[in-house]
Every structure is written in structure tokens, then in C-alpha cells.
Amino acid sequence: MTPPLPPSPDDWKPREANHGANPGFGARRERRDRADRRRRLWWSLIYGSFNPRRRRPARRTEESRYQALDWHSAHLFAVSVGILILCVADAFLTVTLMTGGAVEVNPVMALFIGRNVAVFAGLKMAVTSIGILLMVFLARYRFMRLVRVDVILYCILVAYVILIFYEIGMLRQIGDSRFI
């Protein structure tokens, strides 16, 4: 093994100044001369939207561990929007039923609906939205190593559909023609 060469007196100069000292070095282009790709924020966002890097988890990870993804399936978007629309319908039907004499069963929401309907609706939407966002983010995770979280999202959607039909049935029992 040969010892490294001592530095030349021209090593302190910028690379452009050294091009003449090293014949053949000028043929290579410096990679750092190009524009920094991190400065193109909008291009990166648009390009990354259509060409995501992590569409699937790594093959070697266990299914019980968290797997970060950049791209989620379209069915998760449809389920999420469906749950949020049904949540809005549930809030509207709950307020309508409360004016007809019904009682809120959820003790936490009963505190807010008695004080201010706008706070009740905002809190209901915020809690549901944050929960859905987290569940979509962890969609491939297995809850308690048994059930994938995206299956739980489908169950929540079905539960909301059943709840809406139940509330509509309660409105019919009240029998007030102005409700339906």
C-alpha cells in the first residue's frame, strides 16, 4: 500500500482554478453545479403526487409493524369521504331528533349539544376527521395483530349506515310531518 501524496499548493483554490492544473479533469462535469432539487417545492409536490415512492410496504417487514406509505388506495379515500358525509348526516339527524324530544345517548356529546349546537357539530366533525385521518395513515397496520385497520374503516362505514337508518326510523316514529 502506497502512502497518500502530500497536498499540492493549489488544493486550497476553487475547483475551477484547478481545471488547468489537472489535464483531463476539465472533461468531467461537476455534479454540484446543477440547481438544487430541494428548491423546487411545487415541482416536487406535483411530481411526487403522480410518482410516489412508497406505494407498498417493504417486503421484509413484519405485518405487525408500522409501514409508512406515501400513496394510499382510492378505496380508502372513498370510505373516508363516505364516513365523513354520514357523520354530517348523523349530526343533523341528532339535532333534529333532539328538537323532537329525543335524548343524546353519548354522555360526552350530550354535554356539548346542550350548550351549543355549533360546538357540538364542530367537535363531532373534528374528532371523526382526526380519527379517520389516523386510520387511513395506519391502514396496513394490523390492530392487535389480528385485523387490518382498513377493515375497521369498512366496519365504521357500515355502522354509520345502520345508525342513519336507525335515526330515520326514529324520526318516523315521532310522526311529525315537518321532519320527513
Give domain limits for the chain: 74-174
pTM (predicted TM-score): 0.60
> Would the CA dihedral through 152, 153, 159, 163 be positive or negative?
positive
Identify the pLDDT of residue 99: 84
CB neighbour list of residue 163: distance below 8 Å, 6 or more residues apart: 86, 90
Query: Where does the pLDDT of residue 160 fall: very low under 50, low under 70, confident under 90, or very high at 90 and above?
Result: very high
> Does the structure show a pLDDT above 70 at 150?
yes
Amino acid at 170: M
Identify the pLDDT of residue 67: 57
Name the E strands within 53-148: 142-143, 147-148
Q: Is 147 helix (H, G, I), strand (E, B) or coil?
A: strand
83 and 68 in contact (C-beta within 8 Å)?
no
Max mean pLDDT range (13-17, 103-107, 153-157): 153-157
> Does the structure show a pLDDT above 90 at 106?
no
Average pLDDT of span 86-108: 88
Q: Say which residue, 166 or 44, is predicted with more confidence.
A: 166
Q: Say which residue, 84 or 76, is predicted with more confidence.
A: 84
Task: Give residue-wise pLDDT tens across range 13-72.
Answer: 555 554 555 555 555 566 666 666 667 777 766 776 666 665 555 555 555 455 555 566
In angstroms, the CA 128 to CA 137 distance is 14
Phi and psi dihedrals of 142, rounded to 5?
A: -100, 120
Identify any residues that bridge with 142 across adjacent strands, giving them in sequence order: 148
